[in-house]
Chains A and B, each alone.
Chain A
Amino acid sequence: MPDSIGSEAIICTGLAKTHPGGIEAVAPIDLRLMAGQTTALIGPSGCGKSTLLRLIAGLDQPDAGQVIILGMTPEKARRRAAISVAFQDPSLLPWLTVRGNLGLARRLARQRPDPVRTLRLIELVGLAGFADTRPAALSGGMRQRAAIARALVTQPQVLLLDEPFGAVDELTRRQLARDLPPLWQEAGTTTLLVTHSIAEAVTLSDRIIVLSSRPARIVADIDVPLPRPRPADLAEDAGFRAIAAKALAALSALT
């Protein structure tokens, strides 16, 4: 289990960011994410979801407030390879194969090569047979799946996913939604997922945070108390529909 303060893995206090040019992206936000939980961030396009994720990862510096991850600053957590990020853009290095890209992530995280885990993850994201293929020969969806595998290969305690299923086809998305959460749970990973899709948020997460239009503020904080593992036909469940309706109502209230 992660060595966080109590059971809170990510604590954001008064976090705010204004882009150059005076565009306020994130209004002061207070947020506490429980260790081992999966939280989805949803909100209108351009509301500042990705900015908030980057602030939490420490890739951008906030203008105000602070982030504590597992009791550390984001910088320290990154240096300890406690964080992995799957970006909106798969950003695979074109000169490395899928296996090579995963291997590089382990090297960057100062971890020994783990060929077995690497291959298992490649297979899990549906890329069996493509381990030695370069990104240029993969479709957009396949690249995105490779990027998800890369984010998982370092066994991070905190996983930040920025719309990772954007270019993935519906069938694979369902398969990933079935196969990935058990992995996170097994490792006690704290996951923060940015998504546009209410269905995806309800299927994958334990908690949904709805953000307002720019600057991002929390307008709703919805629990998802659906049991795990979640079945493939979860969308037909009354509980699912009720939560999805709540999230939709919160989003609709913004317009």
Chain B
Amino acid sequence: MRQGARVAGGMLGVAILLIGWQMLAQALYQGRLIAGPVGIVEWLGRDPGLALRALARTLGNAAAGFALGNLAAILLAGIAFLWPRLQDLVTGLALVAFCLPLIATGPILRVLMGPGEGPQIVLAALAVQYTTLIPLLTGLRAVPAAWLDLIHSYGRGRWVELAHIRARAALPYLFAGLQIGAPAAVLGAMVGEFTGAERGLGVLTIRYMRDLDVPALWGVALLAAGASLAAYWAIGGLARLVLDTRPPVLLAPPMRQLRTGRVVGGLTLALAVLLLWWGGLWLTGLNPFLAKGPWDVLAALVWAPDATQMRAALFGALRESAGLAVPGYLAGLAAGAGLAILLTLLPGAGPLVMPVAVALRAIPIVTTGPLIVLFLGRGALGTITLVAVMVFFPTLVACLHGLRQAPGHILDLLRVHAAGPLSQMIHVRIPAMLPALFAAARISVPTAILAVTVVEWLATGRGLGSLMALAASTSDFRMLWSAVALITLLAVLCHAVVAGLERRVLARYAPEQLRQ
């Protein structure tokens, strides 16, 4: 009976929500900006086969990319673990791949790989590999010394350590990475579809944007969000089955100080990237008109006859994009941390909101970008808001988690001295949150760049995204490769700056996180 009542109550709640949504859509915008459920169902009913085929195609590509990216991450983690000297190089290369601007890499992959599914799958793989590699490496190393002593006390070595202790201890970290990776793979596949695929949800998004078909845009965004959430929950369920517990809320573990020192490490990484770039082109023997090497990019930017115009166009667009990405990034961080603090101050709100925030983090916000642009227009506000929303959810989840990590005995000490919630927040909880905030800030650097370039590509017609769209459509491959190189370099540098700040904060507030 009680269960029946609960189901009935749940159904009533959903019905009220749907009716409210429909009325709001009608009352506020007459269906011009918000599509109600009726409009969305009508769209689905018009050609259900089309939507489902597109969904299946996108999910298929996302799944293939997810598998490929995670396999690569596991392989790289194995290499970095077994040969610790290579760890800095492996993680550096993975970071560079993670920082590649998907929106510009897409068209390049398109011309290199042709019109099939290849680019979508590669972009999905690129989007997931880093967020699995780093936690996995942390998991492999985050093993209490006493467990290893146990293995050594029976005269056993590194392989037994790996098989019996480290591999199992790393599983929760692996699942956390996989869980974050599921929506990222959908996002990667859809960005690939934005840049010239034939089928998939991304292709439908572009088509409905042009037609300004609001119910269809809402429908596609909901399908993408639903699929991402389902994948996120499915991996969570699998993790609970295997681990007997939920996977940890992932806080991207801090970057280790390079073993070799910053300058030597940076130079080695740069050299490895250039070698891989040049070697890849040489090995594949691609048409030099399409495939530009490091030398071509350098020439285009420095000594080619039109280098000055090239630089002006590129740096002008960069200034424009940065002018939108930086405020959006900072606003997203501030809003995420601020709301987390507020929710923690309201008794009972934190635990209530956490699951919702974790679930919302799984929605690939970029795929809802067109909706945000519909609301806020093609001006600066729309773009800044999208960047902020992209950064906001991971930051909120990380900060809520960080605020909960405040040591109980220190909070008790403050309570003994009759310190109120605000005082506890300022003296204990916020310092405990800082590592989480900086971890979110670091991992959000490529996210912010992706968000700004996607909106510029799809909607606003300005900045780097638009410049790359133009370069792709006019086959200006020098410009496209130069943009990819410049954005990647800047993303890696910004990431390094945030990681440096993070290390300083951790050294003061959580020194144990730096000892790995």
- The chain A residues found within 8 Å of chain B, CB to CB, are 57, 59, 75-81, 83-85, 87, 89, 91, 93, 95, 104-105, 107-109, 134, 154
Contacts and interface: CB of A to CB of B under 8 A. Distances in A.
B85 interface: no
B153 A80 contact: no
B149 A78 contact: no
Contacts of B152: 59, 78
A78 B146 contact: no
Contacts of A78: 152-155
Contacts of A91: 144, 146-147, 149-150
A57 B147 contact: no
Interface in B137-163: 144, 146-147, 149-156, 160
Given A89-B144, A91-B144, A81 B155 contact: yes
A57 B152 CA distance: 9
B154 A108 contact: yes
Contacts of B244: 95, 134
A87 B150 contact: yes
B40 interface: no
Contacts of B168: 93, 95
Contacts of A95: 168, 243-244
B149 A87 contact: yes
Contact of A89 (B146, B160, B164): B146
Interface of B: 144, 146-147, 149-156, 160, 164-165, 168, 243-244
B99 to A, nearest CB: 35
15 contacts: A57-B153, A59-B153, A75-B155, A78-B153, A78-B154, A80-B155, A81-B154, A84-B153, A87-B146, A89-B146, A107-B164, A108-B151, A108-B154, A109-B154, A134-B244
Contacts of A104: 164
A105 B149 contact: no
B147 A93 contact: yes
A105 B160 CA distance: 12
A82 to B, nearest CB: 9
Contact of A93 (B149, B153, B160, B165): B165
A246 B480 CA distance: 85
A87 B151 CA distance: 12
Given A91-B146, A108-B154, A134-B244, 8 more contacts: A59-B153, A78-B154, A83-B153, A93-B164, A93-B168, A95-B168, A95-B243, A105-B150
A109 B154 CA distance: 6
Nearest to A101: B150
B142 to A, nearest CB: 13
Name which of B147, B154, B156, B168 has the most chain A CB atoms within 10 A of its CB: B154
